[in-house]
Amino acid sequence: MPIRVAIRADAAAEIGTGHVRRCLALAQGLREAGAEVWLVCRPLDAASLAVVQGSDTPVLWLPAAPGSAPLDASDLPPHAAWARIAQEEDAAQVAALLRPLGVQWVCVDHYAFDARWHAAMRAALGCRIAVIDDLADRAIDAEVLLDQNWAEDHARKYAGRLVRGTGTRILAGPRHALLAPAYRTAASYVFHPQVRSIGVFMGGTDPGGASARVLAACAQAGFDGAVEVVSTSSNPHLVALRQACAQRRRTTLTLDAPDLAAFLVRHDLQVGGGGGATWERCCLGAPSIAVMLADNQRSVVPALERMGVLEQARLDAPTSDPQSLPAVLLALLHDSQRRRQLAEAGPALVDGRGAQRVAVCLLAQSASVRGATMDDAPLLHAWRNHPDVRRVSHDPSQIPLAAHLRWMESVLADPARLLLVAHIGSLPVGCVRFDQRNDVIAGLTRNPRGDETNHEVSIYLDPALHHLGLGQPVLRAAEQALAARHEGPLTVHASVLPDNAASRRLFEGAGYEGGPLSFTRRLPARSPGQNGAP
């Protein structure tokens, strides 16, 4: 039975559409990994309906909010009013909606809710909680915290905010940016030395009518080339934006694009807000200028500029200010080398697999294994030759594909060896091999009774999916497959290189004894008549 996940998020003029957009990307990643997913929203205004239009994720609608959240309590979250209802009442309504579905995870992306909402949901549904946040301005009670924004030290950022302390796994930084699956395979921007056209996306609700102000800045910078503005039909400034676009030659307005991938790569310079679309621009290598439109962007955008990922500009600065948007535009229009540097820096920070990583983390306990086949050889070869895997391997050399194919053929033909591929849903995530040894393993001899089988284990994961809590669930599933092939008792041995602390923690956490370099674990014998593994 698939793991069931509910995601709670809202969109509105004051909230923006970014929270729901990134949650829809997470929902796609979860479904790819085999989960059943629902999005839970409250219809706050036109943006609520527009942002989910056309999505293939089922939406469960809460009742319309009667008004503003009460603000007479001093301990409310700073953004409590965004929910337009008390968080205790919201939690009760969400729990009633979800109780018949039997969800195992509730993910919440909402600044209006704090640890009290999280604890109420866990108590009502018996589920685990994942919180998506980037403000660190309230208490959080979650098994998993995702902050996709860049920060120098996320643990310090959330110090004193995590009710569970070290019991909360933190998924930190743009490595986990929630982008739609299309970004993993979308064509990247192809650099051109001249700026032939500019793209403008200032968020789904266009705070403060920023898009029209960007058009004015283009004119002030002397740019008379083509400009494409992307917005949504729920933009409260849409009438004024249409007029601004009509008054400027070679200007087009695109509404309600399902994703921005094609838009981002067809222009030589992008101007946008400093929110979630920043990571989309980075992923595709689109040279960009970021304008801060919300408080949570003020610590991120300057840091990304220092890292050489984007240029920042101010909409409210006079033209004479070098940080004004017209000044920054003018400088970049004539600096092809800088634009090339921006195009190269972004993809190094964001690879488009963030939603997949978060999904794998939440669904790690559902890991399963199957017997490997020669069809798996190219993928296993790529994983094995990755520098991160070779660094902790007993043989750190790079292995040619031909040699790897010969090795796999021999392993698959040997009844004393078991090669397994681990999966989360249909997504391959790792490889486990057991080699039967009846002589000496890691300095230990075969059990004197002669009825026990010794096996040596080797495990590695997709290098792009490290640090997500996959190791133990994958190892446990592989051990079950091994035990199902043997009616007698068996012992698994593992050897670890001195500097491989991650593997030591894996085997210690999985119940292996010994260490620090050699570990063993006795597995329960299969009952007579039990079916064998793959």
pLDDT value of position 439: 59
Domain co-membership, 273 together with 405: no
**One domain for residues 59 and 161:** yes
* Alpha carbons 172 and 467: distance in angstroms, whole number: 11
For the chain, the residue count is: 534
Boundary-marking domain end, from 176, 197, 214: 176
Both 135 and 118 in one domain: the answer is: yes
pLDDT of residue 276: 86
Residue-level pLDDT at 448: 42
**Is residue 359 one of the residues assigned to a domain?**
no
From 176, 209, 226, the end of a domain falls on: 176
Contact 296, 307 (CB under 8 A): no
Q: Is residue 354 part of a domain?
A: no
- Asked if residue 279 is part of any domain, the answer here is yes
Does 109 lie in the same domain as 59? yes
Structural domain total, the chain? 3
Query: Residue 466 in contact with residue 499, Cβ under 8 Å?
Result: no
In the prediction, which pLDDT does 445 show?
41
Q: Are residues 263 and 405 in the same domain?
A: no
Q: Which long-range contacts (CB under 8 A, 24 or more apart) does 390-399 make?
A: 392/497, 392/499, 392/500, 392/502, 392/503, 393/460, 394/495, 394/497
- Shared domain check, 120 and 71: yes
Residue 160 lies in a domain: yes
Q: Within a domain: residue 426? A: yes
Q: Tell me, yes or no, whether 362 lies in a domain.
A: no
**Residues 487, 340 share a domain:** no
Residue 304 sits in the same domain as residue 167: no
CA–CA separation, 430 and 103 (whole Å): 26
Q: Would you state the pLDDT for residue 446?
A: 42
pLDDT recorded at residue 122? 98
Q: How far apart are CA 340 and CA 470, in angstroms?
A: 37
**Residues 368 and 301 sit within 8 Å (Cβ to Cβ):** no
Q: Can you give the CATH number for the domain in which 142 is found?
A: 3.40.50.11190
d(CA 489, CA 299): 57
Q: Which of 176, 201, 220 lies at the terminal end of a domain, its last residue? A: 176
pLDDT given at position 381 = 97
**319 in the same domain as 406:** no
Within a domain: residue 355? no
* Residue 385, number of CB atoms within 10 A of its CB: 17
Residue type, 207: P
pLDDT given at position 269: 98
Is the bond preceding residue 516 a cis peptide, omega within 30 degrees?
Answer: yes
Write out the residue range of the structural domain in which residue 305 sits: 185-349
Those residues with Cβ within 8 angstroms of residue 315's Cβ, 6 or more apart along the chain or in another chain: 208, 210, 213, 214, 217, 291, 325
pLDDT at residue 67 in the model: 65
Residue written as token pair 């704090």: 114
List of residues 6+ apart from 212 with CB closer than 8 A: 237, 240, 241, 244
Q: Tell me, what CATH number does 453's domain have?
A: 3.40.630.30
Query: Any idea what the CATH number is for the domain that residue 287 is in?
Result: 3.40.50.2000
How much is the pLDDT for 320? 87
In a domain? residue 104: yes
Q: Do 412 and 312 fall within a single domain?
A: no
100 and 25 in a common domain: yes
Mean pLDDT (10-residue bins), the chain, 534 residues? 96 92 96 96 91 92 77 80 94 98 98 98 98 96 97 95 97 96 93 97 93 96 97 93 96 91 96 92 97 82 93 91 95 97 95 96 97 98 94 90 97 96 96 83 43 88 95 96 87 92 94 92 69 51
The reply to whether 435 and 380 lie within a common domain is yes
